[in-house]
Amino acid sequence: MSEGGTARRIAGRVLIVAGSDSGGGAGIQADIKSVTALGGYAMTAITALTAQNTEGVFGVHEVPTAFLRQQMELVIGDIGVDCVKTGMLHSAPVIETVCDVLEARLPNVPLVVDPVMVAKGGHPLLEPSAMGVLKNRLITRATVLTPNVPEAELLTGLTIRDEDAMRQAAELLLSFGPRAVLLKGGHMSGRDVVDLLASEDGIEAIRGPRIDTRHTHGTGCSLASAIACGLAQGLSLTKAIRRARNYVLTAIATAPGWGRGHGPLNHAHTIRADA
């Protein structure tokens, strides 16, 4: 194998289909930073532009679906893709377009679905009419679905107040068709953060320390993209998740503290400043 071919195989090519965050803390910007920090190669197909900062989302400008399709197909046809990660897919036509391209061009490539529905500040990012196609077309083909508790409540209709309810929700989400579900427990109370990984092998609780901070903007985007990077690099799902959780935990712990609201993470903590 040529040197270039070896570099491509090791790096891992991740196509991220999501919205842009002008504040740089979440969305496409967080996705690119996370994949790059973990040694992968990030490519993007932008679904929407948002005007936002740490205090909230103040405007959304949709990208036409024909242009979204063009972004995806040009990248796929030229560079190639080892894993796909989806984030903000705000409408049924957008989700339909993404699914059409994935089914036609990347039917066997791993897919990480982060079902972005509501921004950290409460702004809705998924039209109600899109819920059906999200569940019936996109989630069904996911390698792993990564909802937080509020998203899991919207997807299942359940009220989640404790770990037992999380387990019930994870089992229900798994019945929708994804190969695995990582139900994130960051919105729950308790000394530790408990995430549940549900698959055909059962449910595994993955525990970690809770950091008391408001600087958590983009944690879901960053975690999902870090997982996608691991899958693109050939890691097993479990190893990709554990590496991604450790990466995000350190990114939260070393956050720069910027902004008046939910501040961004330190995505570059893996990069030596003196390198």
Q: Which of 12, 221, 229, 230 is catalytic?
A: 221
Helix, strand, or coil (residue 124): strand
Q: Which of 40, 184, 185, 230 is catalytic?
A: 184
Q: Which of 50, 54, 143, 216 is catalytic?
A: 216
In the chain, alpha helices (H): 3-11, 27-37, 65-78, 92-105, 131-133, 149-156, 163-174, 219-232, 237-253
Asked if residues 114 and 26 have their Cβ atoms less than 8 Å apart, the reply is no
261 is catalytic: no
Q: Which of 218, 229, 230, 263 is catalytic?
A: 218
213 is catalytic: no
120 is catalytic: no
Q: Which of 220, 229, 230, 263 is catalytic?
A: 220
229 is catalytic: no
97 is catalytic: no
By DSSP bridging, strand 83-86 and strand 111-113 are parallel
Q: Which of 44, 97, 156, 219 is catalytic?
A: 219
184 is catalytic: yes
Which residues have CB under 8 Å from 236's CB, separation 6+?
Answer: none
Asked if residues 149 and 188 have their Cβ atoms less than 8 Å apart, the reply is yes
In whole angstroms, give the CA distance from residue 139 to residue 124: 19
Residues labelled as active-site residues: 184, 216, 218-221
